[in-house]
Structure 1
Amino acid sequence: MRLGSNPWVLTCGRPVHDPYITLICFPWAGGSPDVFRSWAAGLADGIELLAVRLPGRGPRLGEPHYEEWELLLKDVSAALSPHLERPHALYGHSFGGRLAYELARLATTTHPGLTRRLFVSACRSPDMPQRRPHLHTLTDQQLREALLHLGGMPPELLGDDRLMRLVLPTIRSEIRLAEMWVSRDGEGVKVPITAMYGRWDAVDGRARMARWSSFGRLGCELVDMPGGHFFPLTHRPHLLDVLNSRLGAAGGQDQW
Structure 2
Amino acid sequence: MTATKADRTPYLPQEPDLAAPLRLFCFHHAGGSASVFSGWQRALGDAVSVVPVQLPGRERRFDEPRIRHLPELVNALDAQLDPWLRQPFVTYGHSLGGLVSYALTRQRAAAGRSIPERLMVGAFPAPHRRHALVDADRLDDEEFARRLVDLGGISPTLRAYPDWLRAAASLARDDLALGLNHGIEAFEPLPCPVDVFTGDRDPLMRENDIDEWAQHTRASFSIQRVPGGHFFPWDSPALFLELLGSAIAHTGTRRASVA
TM-score computed with the length of structure 2 as normaliser: 0.87
Contact 1:16 1:46 in 2 (8 A): no
Contact 1:136 1:173 in 2 (8 A): no
For 2:10, which of 7, 10, 23 is the aligned residue?
7
Give the fraction of aligned pairs with identical amino acids, expressed as a percent: 28
Equivalent-residue separation in structure 2 for 1:163 and 1:108 (angstroms): 40
Match of 2:196, SS?
strand
Contact 1:25 1:51 in 2 (8 A): yes
Contact 2:27 2:100 in 1 (8 A): yes
Matches within 5 A, 1:191-206: 191-206=192-207
Q: Which runs of 4+ in 1 moved over 3 A?
A: 109-114, 130-133, 164-168, 179-182, 249-254
Equivalent-residue separation in structure 2 for 1:157 and 1:113 (angstroms): 41
- Root mean square deviation, CA, Å: 2.4
| Structure 2 unmatched runs, 5+ | 1-6
Q: Structure 1 residues 192 and 250 mapped into 2: Cα distance closer, same or farther (>3 Å)?
A: closer
Contact 1:197 1:225 in 2 (8 A): yes
TM-score computed with the length of structure 1 as normaliser: 0.88
Equivalent-residue separation in structure 2 for 1:187 and 1:38 (angstroms): 35
Matches within 5 A, 1:100-179: 100-110=101-111, 112=113, 114-131=115-132, 134-179=135-180
Moved more, 197-206 or 162-171: 162-171
Q: Deviations over 1:154-212 (max 9, x none)?
A: 11235422324444333112112225434253212111000111111110243321100
Letter in 1 for 2:164: L
Matches within 5 A, 1:22-41: 22-41=23-42
Contact 1:192 1:220 in 2 (8 A): yes
Q: Structure 1 residues 171 and 115 mapped into 2: Cα distance closer, same or farther (>3 Å)?
A: same
| Structure 1 unmatched runs, 5+ | none
Q: Structure 1 residues 131 and 167 mapped into 2: Cα distance closer, same or farther (>3 Å)?
A: closer
Corresponding residue for residue 97 of structure 2: 96
* Distance apart, 1:5 and its partner CA: 4.4
Equivalent-residue separation in structure 2 for 1:132 and 1:61 (angstroms): 24
Matched, 1:66 2:67: yes
